[in-house]
Chain A
Amino acid sequence: MDLIPQLIVDALLLGGIYTLMVIGLALSFGVTRVINFAHGEAVMLGAYGAFTVFVAFGVDPLIAMPVLMVAGCVLGMVLFKVAIAPVLKAPHVNQILLTFGIGLVLQNLALVIWSPDGRSVVPSYAYSSFEFGDVVVSGGRLIGFGIAAVLVLALFFWLKRTEFGRATRALAEQHDAAVLMGINVNQMYALAFGLSVALGVATGVILSFLGAITPFMGFHILVKGFAIIVLGGLGSIVGAVLGAFLLAFAETAVSYYVPNGTGWAEAVAFLTLFLVLVLRPRGIIGQAVAD
């Protein structure tokens, strides 16, 4: 029983990181219906961006984050216009192959630029922690959780309260009606895709001081991310947030209470994914996907 407070803290902090990892994926799929297999590489580039500004200019990753997010958003919009837009009406498999290919190109680019050596950013707060009785809270993870909360709330605010956000929701919910209302589809698609990349970059910035940065880190993030958005419901941002916390609690509980449980974390993710696909294919709050 005395493990429960620590379990709750660990699961909440992990859930925050998972949320940040997947809301970008959920946004881009919800609006454009393109499953972005290069999203993990956006995270990877964000992490390397933070590493580079920290090492080269001594700039704290959290200070650099807004600039890196803007750069990621612009890069995402350009990528959408150049590579994704031409295949919007193509079969899903073509889109998957395209984004997968983009991911491979970005991985190799990172290999050339930063080498395959594992890197990490170590600002002072990365190694801070607080103790409340028997409960230990990592400062870096708490910061990650806080940033995830702020960004998720900002995204919801943008979607609900701004003209662009409402247009984005209209496109996601009723594409044809939105077009008839005069919404510039390509512009909104590019913006949603750019924002999803920016959120991936923010995730990378947080991960840069929590763990190791490598050119291949994106793949593992992507796999976990897909499990979460399927669990929450493809295309639903609220579902993605719920899925992130559900999975974080399930994994952490297994880690604590099952012998060798940390080794089972990924199995928990995929068992959950399997059960959701069999019992409730739309996920917790999912939309039906036609094809």
Chain B
Amino acid sequence: MHRLSSGGILPILALATTLAATPALAQESIKIGVPMELSGRFVAYGASGKRGVEFATEVYGGKVAGKKIELLVRDIQSESQATISVFNELVSKEKVNYIIGPIGSPTVAAAIPAWRQGKPIWLVPGSSSTKLEEEVGGDPEFFHTFPYAYNYHESIAAALKNQLPAGQKVAMIYTDDNYGRTHQPYAKKYLTDAGFEVVLEEIVRTNAADMNPLLTKIARVKPDVLLGLVQTTDAVTLAKQIYTRKLPVPYLIGTAATQLDEWQKAVGTAQEGWVGVTTYLPGLNRPGNQEFPKLFPPSSEWEAMFVKKYGQEPDFEDAGCYVSAMLLFLAIERAGGDDKEKVAAELRKMDIPNTLLGRAKFVSTPSGTKQQAFTDMVVFQRENGKNVMLFPPGPETKKIKAVTY
């Protein structure tokens, strides 16, 4: 008769325990896919996005509806192919019910076919491209928590109308990529509607080394406002060459980079006077939410918590992804667990005032997105290395200043 020794039985027991425990553990957690640009050209956005979601998870307590929040963070490398692979894995293999991210317009666009394989609830805290709206805006599982291109230009036009006399002349520079081409028609429409005269529209190649010919053309038409629809590295080159040349244009506006610490450090003194537009800025002093004071404290308190944890000020994607993750957690909580349909219904019903990005309520847009939140933007100006609010009108709003060299 064989007797099992303790040395033989213990591994068997351990294996049995593990096998028994694995499904139970899986049931105890709620998986959320977090595909972000953690390397490549959009890493500044993706790194903030990851930070925002992780910070939200920590502040929420790590559990939702009694189950552990399991974040499946994946690097999509700012590349379309990697994005598709990651989405295939999250949707078809991991079978997640919820995805937050990515941020960049090209990566979000690349994710659409793979997302359609399972259609988990998809919160997109980025991409201002209206192509996204045309593709998936009508899907009941798609929740967009970032403004579209037209929201940017609606805000800029309103701010300029509020700050400058009517009939001023505007020159526009836009890159030949998806970003520039998407924004340019909206910029023209809203500025023209607001009574401005668009006197020059010039396209520029991305990564152009020399923008001087363009600046010469701009100087000749003597505009009052220059609007740069260009992204980070091109925005650095543009700002540096404008400053070097002392371009005689009183008001300079950048839509993509002015709020970024990266741009401000790269251009140094050339940032002075630039106007930017964004969803969130440190120092906004937004009030907290009374129903959820821990999740949505006043923005100054939240910023202090963030700085304490990460040693740096939050940027707009830190705040955007934090709020998006919080909304998902609250919807799961209200749905009573991991039921995709119920969670989607809870998100649609949600109406929470005073989050970091303002009122959280999903509404439909005239252009076809069924569930869109957070379209309010702030317009600000860089003054002595700090942000000064220009729009919306309020007690902290200041008068726009012309650029001086």
Contact = CB atoms under 8 A, between A and B. Distances in A.
Interface string A202-218: 00000100111010110
B244 interface: yes
Most chain A CB inside 10 Å of its own CB: which residue of B40, B210, B262 = B210
A262 B240 contact: no
Interface size class of B (residues with CB under 8 A): 35 or more
Given A262-B214, A265-B208, A118 B240 contact: no
Most chain B CB inside 10 Å of its own CB: which residue of A140, A207, A211 = A211
Most chain B CB inside 10 Å of its own CB: which residue of A10, A128, A256, A263 = A263
Interface size class of A (residues with CB under 8 A): 35 or more
B131 interface: no
A14 B208 CA distance: 11
B400 to A, nearest CB: 23
- Chain A facing B: main interface SS: helix
Most chain B CB inside 10 Å of its own CB: which residue of A111, A212, A264, A265 = A212
Interface of B: 39-41, 43-44, 176, 202-205, 207-214, 216-217, 232-234, 236-237, 240-241, 243-246, 262-263, 265-270
Contacts of A10: 210, 212-213, 216
A256 B244 contact: no
A139 B245 CA distance: 9
Most chain A CB inside 10 Å of its own CB: which residue of B211, B216, B243 = B216
Interface in A235-281: 251-252, 255-256, 260-266
Interface string A98-142: 000000000000010001111110100011110000001011100
A3 interface: yes
Across the A-B interface, give the 9 residue pairs with the lowest CB-CB distance, nearest first. Answer: A255-B213, A263-B203, A212-B236, A122-B268, A212-B233, A120-B266, A117-B262, A260-B203, A116-B43
B245 A138 contact: yes
Contacts of A3: 216
Contacts of A217: 207, 233
Contacts of A139: 244
- Chain B facing A: main interface SS: helix
12 contacts: A117-B262, A120-B267, A126-B240, A128-B244, A214-B41, A252-B210, A260-B203, A262-B211, A263-B176, A263-B202, A263-B203, A264-B205
A118 B203 contact: no
B266 A261 contact: no
A264 B44 CA distance: 29
A197 B237 CA distance: 25
A152 interface: no
A138 B270 CA distance: 15
A220 interface: yes
